[in-house]
Chain A
Amino acid sequence: EDQVTQSPEALRLQEGESSSLNCSYTVSGLRGLFWYRQDPGKGPEFLFTLYSAGEEKEKERLKATLTKKESFLHITAPKPEDSATYLCAVQAYFGNEKLTFGTGTRLTIIP
């Protein structure tokens, strides 16, 4: 059974204080690892897809990296508007196209 574990559950940072969020996964053949951002009362918003170990993708202050067992979402010099819950999900290579999600990391950036 595919499984995704995210840590920490919650993270509070001062504005400008860089950090990383972790996503550990087990999947029967990784097709893709997805990062989403979710604001309160809204649906998840797609950020990145990573397909193979060693791959990195960047968007503004966010950079996602992937190894064979985990992914990191690095946040550099965050701003208050980066406050959100960040969700990680995996899609298996074989079988249906569903995503298996972790429970998310709730990030708060304090001005």
Chain B
Amino acid sequence: DAEITQSPRHKITETGRQVTLACHQTWNHNNMFWYRQDLGHGLRLIHYSYGVQDTNKGEVSDGYSVSRSNTEDLPLTLESAASSQTSVYFCASSAPRLAGAYNEQFFGPGTRLTVL
């Protein structure tokens, strides 16, 4: 069965360190997204990609970067981790809108990141 996986599931790091969160999907979806989820804010979009070599900023992109070298993976990098980046991070993927009427996003299990 197709799926979307994230690793690690839990991560504790220190302020100022670089951290990379992995996301891998076997849906063969062109679209991939990174969200963060915080109490009182819901899910907020960090970065997204419509395909290989394509990346775009979302509403809360400061301090984060992504790269897309293949269809399956979209790693999220925190260049210099800050305490404000303590959150739960979700990766999602979807088929392109033009592929049909349905392009719901499928989510991974999440990574809980703590920055001390």
Do A and B share a complex? yes
Binding site for B on A (CB under 8 A): 4, 31-32, 34, 36, 41-46, 49, 51, 87, 89, 96-99, 101-104
Give complex CA distance A51, B97 in Å: 13
Find the B residue at minimum CB distance from A43: B107
The 5 closest A-B pairs by CB, nearest first: A43-B107, A101-B43, A103-B42, A101-B42, A44-B107
A49-B42 contact in complex given A43-B90, A44-B90, A97-B94, C-beta closer than 8 Å: no
Please report the total number of B residues contacting A with Cβ < 8 Å. 28
Q: Are the C-beta atoms of A103 and B40 separated by less than 8 Å? A: yes
Closest chain B CB from A16 CB (angstroms): 30
What are 15 residue pairs bridging A and B, where the CB atoms are less than 8 Å apart in the complex? A34-B104, A42-B109, A42-B110, A43-B107, A43-B109, A44-B90, A87-B42, A89-B43, A97-B31, A97-B96, A97-B97, A98-B33, A101-B35, A103-B40, A104-B42
